[in-house]
Amino acid sequence: MDAKGTPRETNERERRMRARNRALLALLLALVALFYVITIVRISGG
């Protein structure tokens, strides 16, 4: 078997990588939003 695998395996691997990348993007966006909210609260004196 070659390093790339069958087309079906390649498609499945790409689908899993896209799903993981979306999850990481969501996590990063959530962290950015959290830091933004914390900063605004601290600046406003809350």
Percent of the chain with pLDDT over 70: 91
Domain of residue 14: give its range. 1-46
What confidence score (pLDDT) does residue 22 get? 98
Tell me which DSSP letter residue 44 carries: T
Q: Model-level pTM?
A: 0.71
Q: CB of 3 within 8 A of CB of 11?
A: no
* Kind and range of the H or E run holding 4: none
pLDDT-flagged residues of the chain (< 50) = 1
Report the domain count for the chain.
1
pLDDT at 3: 61
